[in-house]
Chains A and B, each alone.
Chain A
């Protein structure tokens, strides 16, 4: 498992352009809700001496004045933007994941990196999007059943006179929700890897086969994901520590520093996500080796455990040609 994670990290390290491209991709998408916000704030804050207080710290007073004078509810606005961003993010993920898998699987392709990324993104978009819907529906249904079950199971805790029990019940429900959610999301990852490799057209079949794969190899699947998610959590904690302790970003230099650190964190997050996909892909390849080709094959296929993922042929070679 450690080797698989290491390989995933190496894979991400070998594809800095991919990491940068995804960072830029989401950076550009993030600019869509950011530019109107910037215009609004610049008009309201840029000309107000009172706004100087936000250079020192987040000011709830300024935020209240700002939203009230614009006639909007601060929380309502935040929620609507978050939902809109979430929808765009979910749709865009189908494209980005296709691009990631194609780039990781076509190292020997002489075509440009950008070509391969967009080729994969476009080729797999609808199938990956359908997969996401299948996974979402399954997750929704199962989450409903599980939440009823876990709710009933933890009810004695929640109703307990011992106050911490209520929090423990909530914590237990959250952990179960995360684990169940992770199960379906891991299955989605492996299903996409499977579709990219096998060229499957039936998303139901691909998803449920991958769900079965994850359930059969539950410990390893979680074992690969959890350390990488832990690294991601550590990254966010480091940022929070910085944000909590750094001097207020009141000068252009300090604002620029904050911005650079934030972008480094986002890059780090993207790197870790690519690493997770790389590790999952490596594991899938290990557990479902490429069938031995006919004697006329131009290359000697990899056998489980005999080579590293880096030495494996690209995924695109064992899947229907995306170029076609």
Chain B
């Protein structure tokens, strides 16, 4: 009996650390929502009843008040913080005239019947704007003890706005997001670096998304029977009512938000992502090798994909499905299996583009247009890019629940970087954005073009509503973080980066990490302190720019003058020196002195490699710590210096100008000739078009 017990203990000792590294299967469910909601299309209104059970996640604090997001109140009037910040437009879409949206809490009671409505008050933790009603608090009759829970019954009415910022209606189309009273996140001391426990419940801002706790949702949606409904999670029941409506019941655990859509015109297209057919054995093996895992560990599971398509976009159905499958495959292989059984892709109605390009758990909205059905516009990969990106948020938002208010880069930036990789894996590096009439553009081109040397007034690590100007949110949350991760990958190498991101995802799946957690993991996995990097590029505002100050290569000349040598003083006249130089030249025994001054023109100090190519010799590389503003390299060689290039592998994606990274000592006119020929052709065509009018 003893031996088996010892073996079992040993097996457990071995297994526990291995299991601890695996993918978490479930979240620590803090909330349970049961919601019954009905849509009244005539009034653009939702009427709902919600039973919310909230568990106090603290082991120390008793919580006496609860805080809620009432996001729809952002659209209540022009004095809300959202409207003040956005001016009533978002991403080019403007709010419809007098199309206000709001949410009213009709009743809010504890399960024991205590009425909390008299204690309900709007609070403005971010900006003190007393007119903003997007956060409310209620005081409980008695505090919720550590680990204890409270159940509330809430009746509410939501009036949807005409969609321009994620949620609302357009004609018969409804995208219903941020629509119910949603409890904030109570962060106990220690969570995300907090010193004391407290609520994290920000107001709704123009440049911010969301943050919520994981839990289980059961939502009954009642809508007119002619409407086609799609929603977060799995549809469990469908019941036709006597009044011309149908009630659909959706359930999903381990998520932190719930959205749904209704439109009578949807074309429903279904497909299955097959873990055995859509991923080849070779792809599993390559990924396992890359990540240092077994093939079983990187195995995926089947997912039912539903695309709710606008009728005019029917030809794009397969493109959405392929893009969703590409996302399921690559994100799943790299970061871990997509744990849900369903994925719904919603194609917003014409005029409702404000609802497009958005993510909710198991439910994403795409971005498309009719012209993308046809050549040559079908070669613009907006459909694929948006679908893959929004799907990617299932990993960087839904599964790793970063606080998008405070550290948007952890989801948008990580996802922009991951989207680029998934698109490259699917379409190749230079064609991820478009292959349009012979012109190709990839994600890296877009990132590089966005890397403006003038963008040096904000830092990545900032509250998302505090970037100035407001529109720089996209650069600091999406683009620059992707460049930061590309550069980090340049330093670490592809394999180490892949393993880092996999581990980060596994460790923080169903949790709420902060930037420090990522930084700590980088240090842990590399065994080095990368604080020097993140301090500059995430916490700092400076830019990266390395360039060549000067580069020369010329024959060395014989020294002339008086020289004290062991045999006595020797004089070399200028005439003799010139003669001897000429002889050396004729004998082809010249030695060349090559001098290169490399410069750090940006404020960020990063170590770089400098490549030197001498005629007829292989490329040589030398390292420079990049700390000083200049460094001079001198060589005396029988060969002339051909060219010099800083960061020859272009590992430092953050560099704002790659064109000045290198210098050729002999001009190569081919690039100029290639561009000049095209430019001349363009101008000649303008002349021959207009010049004969």
Interface residues of A (CB under 8 A from B): 22, 26-27, 29-31, 33-34, 37-38, 41-42, 44-52, 54-55, 57-66, 68-69, 81-82, 85-86, 88-90, 92-93, 96-97, 132, 135, 161-164, 166-167, 185, 188, 240, 243-244, 249-252, 255, 258-259, 262, 265-266, 269-270, 273, 277
Say whether A30 contacts B669, CB under 8 Å: no
A46 touching B441, Cβ below 8 Å: no
Could you tell me the distance in whole angstroms from the C-beta of A15 to the nearest C-beta in chain B?
A: 14
Chain B residues near A92: list those with CB within 8 A.
Answer: 687, 691
Q: A51-B672, A68-B657 are in contact. List 14 more A-B contacts (CB 8 A).
A: A34-B679, A45-B659, A61-B445, A61-B658, A85-B683, A92-B687, A162-B312, A163-B370, A244-B438, A252-B670, A258-B677, A259-B677, A262-B680, A266-B688
- Nearest residue (CB) in B for A33 is B683
Are A163 and B350 within 8 A (Cβ)?
yes
| CA A151 to CA B197, docked complex, whole Å | 61
Interface centre among A51, A96, A243, A265 (most CB of B within 10 A): A51
Is B350's CB under 8 angstroms from A166's CB? yes
- B692–A30 touching, CB < 8 Å: no
State whether B445 touches A60 (Cβ < 8 A).
Answer: yes
C-alpha spacing A46/B689, complex, angstroms: 31
Q: Chain B residue with minimal CB distance to A249?
A: B674
Cα distance A58–B438 in the bound complex, in angstroms: 9
Assess whether B112 is interfacial by the CB under 8 Å rule. Answer: no
A interface footprint on B647-678 (CB within 8 Å = 1, 0 otherwise): 01000000011111111100111111111111
| B669→A60 contact, CB < 8 A | no
Question: Is A49's CB under 8 angstroms from B693's CB?
Answer: no
Q: Offer 10 A-B interface pairs, CB within 8 angstroms, sorted by A.
A: A30-B683, A34-B676, A46-B664, A49-B661, A52-B668, A52-B671, A64-B449, A66-B659, A167-B370, A265-B681
B645 at the interface (CB under 8 A from A): yes
Q: Note all chain B residues with C-beta closer than 8 A to A249.
A: 674, 677
- Across the interface, name the chain A residue whose C-beta is closest to B371: A167
Question: A51-B659, A89-B691, A244-B437 in contact; A46/B671 too (CB < 8 A)?
Answer: yes
Contacts of B670 in A (CB 8 A): 55, 250-252, 255
Contact B692 A49 (CB under 8 A): no
* Across-interface contacts of A81 in B (CB, < 8 A): 683
Given A49-B662, A163-B370, A29:B693 Cβ within 8 A: no
Nearest 10 CB-CB pairs, A to B? A61-B448, A244-B438, A89-B691, A49-B662, A46-B667, A89-B690, A65-B659, A163-B350, A26-B687, A30-B683
Query: In the assembled complex, which residues on chain B have CB atoms less than 8 Å from the CB atom of A162?
Result: 312, 350
Q: Is B441 a contact partner of A68 (Cβ separation < 8 A)? A: no
Residues of B within 8 A of A166 (CB): 350, 370
Is B439 among interface residues, defined by CB-CB distance under 8 A?
Answer: yes
- Closest partner residue, chain A, to B172 (CB atom): A161
Q: Does B304 contact A (CB under 8 A)?
A: no
Chain A residue numbers with a CB within 8 Å of B689 are 89
Contact of A273 among B441, B686, B688 (CB under 8 A): B688
User: Does B440 have its Cβ within 8 Å of any Cβ on chain A?
Assistant: yes
- Using Cβ atoms and an 8 Å threshold, which residues of chain A touch B440? 57-58
Contacts known (A50-B659, A69-B659); A45 close to B684, Cβ less than 8 A: no
Instruction: State which of A29, A30, A58, A163 has its C-beta within 8 Å of the C-beta of B312.
Output: A163
Query: Which residues of B lie under 8 Å from residue A69 when comparing CB positions?
Result: 657, 659-660
Residue B671 contacts which of A31, A55, A273 (CB distance < 8 angstroms)?
A55
**Min C-beta distance of A38 to chain B, whole Å:** 5
Closest beta carbon of chain A to B450's beta carbon, Å: 8
With both beta carbons as reference points, the residue of chain A lying nearest to B447 in the complex is identified as: A61
| Min CB–CB distance A29 → chain B (angstroms) | 6
Q: Look across to chain B and name the residue whose beta carbon is closest to the beta carbon of A57.
A: B440
Whether the pair B690, A42 counts as a contact (CB closer than 8 A) is no
For residue A151, give the distance in angstroms from its CB to the closest CB of chain B. Answer: 19
| B125 located at the interface, meaning its Cβ lies under 8 Å from any Cβ of chain A in the complex | no
A86 to B660, CA, bound (A): 33
Interface string of B308-330 (1 = CB under 8 A from A): 00101100000000000000000
A71 to B588, CA, bound (A): 45
User: How many Å lie between the Cα of A90 and that of B687 in the bound state?
Assistant: 8
Residue numbers in B under 8 Å from A45 (CB-CB): 659, 671-672, 675
Q: Which of B449, B648, B672, B677 contacts A61 (CB 8 A)?
A: B449
B445 close to A85 (CB less than 8 A): no
Q: Beyond A49-B643, A65-B658, A69-B660, is A54–B674 a contact (Cβ under 8 Å)?
A: yes
Q: Give Cα A88–Cα B370 distance, bound, in whole angstroms.
A: 39
Q: Separation in Å of the B298 CB from the closest CB of chain A?
A: 33
- List chain B residues, Cβ under 8 A from A252: 670, 673
Take A60-B441, A161-B350 as given contacts and tell me if A38 and B672 are in contact as well, using a CB distance cutoff of 8 Å: yes
Against A, the Cβ 8 Å flags (1 = close, 0 = not) of B428-453 are 00100000011111001110110011
* Minimum CB distance partner of A40 in chain B: B672
Shortest Cβ distance from residue A31 to the other chain B in the assembled complex, whole angstroms: 7
- Which residues does chain A contribute within 8 Å of B691, judged by CB atoms? 26, 29, 89-90, 92-93, 96
Question: Considering only CB atoms, which chain B residue lies closest to A68 in the complex?
Answer: B453
> Which residue of the partner chain, among A57, A85, A266, contacts B430 with CB atoms under 8 Å?
A57
- B681, A266: Cβ atoms under 8 Å? yes
Q: Which residue of B lies closest to A49 (CB)?
A: B662
| Pick from A46, A59, A97: contact of B692, CB under 8 Å | A97
Knowing A48-B660, A60-B446, A64-B449, the reply to whether A30 touches B687 (Cβ < 8 A) is yes
- Of the candidates B656, B679, B680, the one having the most CB atoms from chain A within 10 angstroms of its own CB is B680
Given contacts A85-B686, A243-B438, contact A34 B453 (CB under 8 A): no
Partner of B668, one of A26, A46, A161: A46
B529 at the interface (CB under 8 A from A): no
Q: Are A46 and B645 in contact (CB under 8 A)?
A: no
B449 touches A93 (CB 8 A): no
Which residues of chain B (264-297) have a CB below 8 Å from chain A?
none
B545 CB to closest chain A CB (Å) equals 10
Bound Cα distance from A26 to B678, whole angstroms: 15
Contacts of B690 in A (CB 8 A): 85-86, 89-90, 93
Give the one of A30, A48, A161, A250 with max B CB within 10 A.
A48
Shortest CB-to-CB span from A214 to chain B, Å, is 15
Q: How far is the CB of B407 from chain A (nearest CB, A)?
A: 28
Q: Which of A44, A47, A55, A90 counts the most chain B CB atoms within 10 A?
A: A47
Q: Give the distance to chain A from B124, nearest Cβ to Cβ, in Å.
A: 39
Closest to B435 in A: A244
Q: Which residues of A are found within 8 Å of B623, using beta-carbon distances?
A: none
* Shortest distance between the CB of B378 and any CB in chain A (Å): 14
Q: Does B685 contact A (CB under 8 A)?
A: yes
In the assembled complex, the CB of A142 is this many whole angstroms from the nearest CB of chain B, namely 16
Q: Does B171 contact A (CB under 8 A)?
A: yes
Least CB separation from A37: chain B residue: B679
CB distance from A207 to the nearest CB of B (A): 13
Q: What is the distance, in angstroms, from B6's C-beta to the closest C-beta of chain A?
A: 62
Say yes or no: is B492 at the interface (Cβ < 8 Å to chain A).
no
Q: Does B496 contact A (CB under 8 A)?
A: no
Enumerate chain A residues within 8 angstroms of B501, measured Cβ to Cβ: none
**Which B102-131 residues have a C-beta within 8 angstroms of A?**
none
**A93 to B449 Cα, complex, angstroms:** 38
CA distance A79 to B418 in the complex (A): 35
Q: How far is the CA of A19 from the CA of B128 in the complex (A)?
A: 74
Q: Is B462 in the interface zone, CB < 8 Å from A?
A: no
Mark interface residues in B633-655 (1 if CB within 8 Å of A CB, else 0): 00000000001010010000000
Q: A57-B440, A244-B438 are in contact. Are A93 and B693 (CB under 8 A)?
A: yes
A57-B430, A243-B438 given; A41·B683 CB < 8 A: no
Residue of A nearest to B663 (CB): A47
Within 8 A of A (CB), among B338-380: 349-351, 369-371
